[in-house]
């Protein structure tokens, strides 16, 4: 399929769904099947050691809202390649930059074929609460240590992350990189797991059924390396950058917990009730894991706009939904986005605010999955 014109490449980006059944009397919200691209490294070169001087930002703001994003021209193939190239930071402070190629598998699935490389192609202060605060603090080890809440972890920089594999955590890029350089503490980045707090080696006096919540503490694991897309590093939060506000962390050792798989974000109309869920460590409730759900108000190809109540610290949380998995005949939760931040948007001349999540598109799925698996053949099902 070499020599595919740029127009077909753009159509592929927008028309990746290949299996969606119509609604019926016994319809279940079902995970669609997608034609997934392949993203593979082409070249890697060393970069100088970074300065870890940026202040950690627990939220990202942007004035470019849904209509602004919808009016942005589609990227060319070369631009997409540039955005999906990535930077890797290692625990010893060294870093590399990797250029990628984008491929589409032939019908037989035997080999990846390259795309044509010549194709052309007012400030809200602190609160992000909408009316009545609808967040729920999760107490008691019987909840905190069980799926799906057990997949939420805390970053030492102050954000939230989600377990997506045995040694991998998905979070927001701005939690470790401000678009220009890495934030303070990233070289010794740690991920915290809530665990029961015992005294003198014994079990806590408060059981999970007690009226008084059992005290918990964080157990920390060091991060071995991080991946950040160049779309975040070369952009900024007021334009293309927010579309690429995601990062993957690889831990130095397995966490031994159940994790949540990533999935391609379906259109809002296919989600159960048009609703999303996520849990995070909001900084106005220190030490508490906070769960919320809400309806999606608008969407673009790369972003979900919603008004889930949230505070700084929740950014980086994995946004998930639960849908029917036809192949296995079971319900399954998947992460379809990463909570990024807050926006004031001019809607028909009047200010309106949203909280924003970055959607996992087919291209982003292919990239993140390859970071996790290291083999594109393991990334054929989104």
Question: Residues with catalytic annotation?
Answer: 174, 239, 315
Which residues lie closer than 8 Å to 291 by C-beta, 6 or more apart? 135, 136, 137, 138, 149, 277, 278, 279
**What distance lies between CA 23 and its chain's CA centroid?**
29
3-class DSSP string for the chain: CCCCCHHHHHHHHHCCEEECCCCCCCCCCECCEECCEEEEEEEEEEECCCCCCECCCCCCEECCCHHHHHCCCCCCHHHHHHHHCEEEEECCCCEEEEEEEEEEECCCCCCEEECCCCCCCCCCCCCECCCCCCCEEECCHHHHCCCCHHHEEEECCCCEEEEEECCEEEECHHHCECCCCEECCHHHCEEEEEEECCCCCCCCCCCCCCCCCCCEEEEEEEEEEEEEEHHHHCCCCCCHHHHHCCEEEEECCCCCCCCCCECCCCCHHHCHHHEEEEEECCCCCCCCEEEEEEEEEEECCCEEEECCCECCCCCCCEEEEEEEECCCCEEEEEEEEEEEEEEEEEECCEEEEEEEEEECCHHHHHHHHHHHHCCHHHCCCC
Distances (CA, A) of 322 to 29, 113, 265, 381: 8, 33, 12, 16
CA distance 365 to 84: 11
């Amino acid at each position: 399929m070499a020599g595919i014109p740029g127009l077909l490449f753009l159509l592929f980006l927008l028309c990746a769904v290949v299996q969606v059944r119509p609604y019926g009397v016994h319809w279940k919200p079902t995970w669609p099947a997608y034609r997934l691209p392949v993203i593979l490294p082409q070249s890697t070169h060393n970069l100088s050691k970074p300065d870890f001087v940026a202040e950690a930002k627990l939220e990202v703001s942007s004035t470019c809202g849904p209509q602004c994003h919808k009016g942005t021209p589609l990227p060319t193939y070369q631009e997409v390649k540039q955005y999906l190239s990535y930077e890797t930071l290692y625990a010893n402070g060294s870093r590399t930059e990797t250029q990628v190629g984008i491929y589409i598998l032939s019908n037989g699935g035997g080999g990846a074929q390259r795309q044509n490389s010549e194709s052309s192609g007012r400030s809200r202060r602190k609160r992000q609460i909408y009316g009545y605060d609808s967040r729920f603090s999760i107490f008691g080890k019987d909840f905190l240590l069980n799926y799906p809440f057990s997949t939420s972890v805390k970053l030492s920089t102050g954000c939230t992350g989600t377990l997506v594999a045995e040694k991998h955590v998905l979070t927001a890029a701005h939690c470790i990189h401000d678009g220009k350089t890495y934030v303070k503490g990233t070289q010794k980045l740690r991920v915290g797991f809530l665990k029961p707090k015992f005294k003198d080696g014994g079990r806590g006096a408060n059981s999970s059924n007690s009226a008084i919540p059992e005290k918990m503490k964080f157990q920390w694991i060091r991060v071995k390396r991080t991946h950040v897309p160049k779309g975040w590093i070369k952009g900024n939060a007021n334009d293309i950058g927010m579309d690429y506000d995601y990062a993957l962390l690889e831990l130095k050792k397995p966490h031994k917990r159940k994790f949540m798989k990533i999935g391609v974000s379906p259109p809002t109309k296919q989600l159960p009730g048009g609703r999303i869920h996520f849990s995070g460590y909001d900084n106005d409730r220190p030490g508490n894991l906070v769960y919320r759900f809400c309806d999606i108000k608008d969407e673009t190809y790369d972003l979900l706009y919603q008004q889930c109540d949230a505070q700084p610290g929740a950014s980086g949380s994995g946004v998930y939904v639960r849908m029917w998995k036809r192949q296995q005949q079971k319900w399954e939760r998947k992460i379809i986005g990463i909570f990024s931040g807050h926006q004031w948007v001019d809607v028909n001349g009047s200010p309106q605010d949203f909280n924003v999540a970055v959607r996992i598109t087919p291209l982003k799925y292919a990239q993140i999955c390859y970071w996790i698996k290291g083999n594109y053949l393991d990334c054929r099902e989104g």
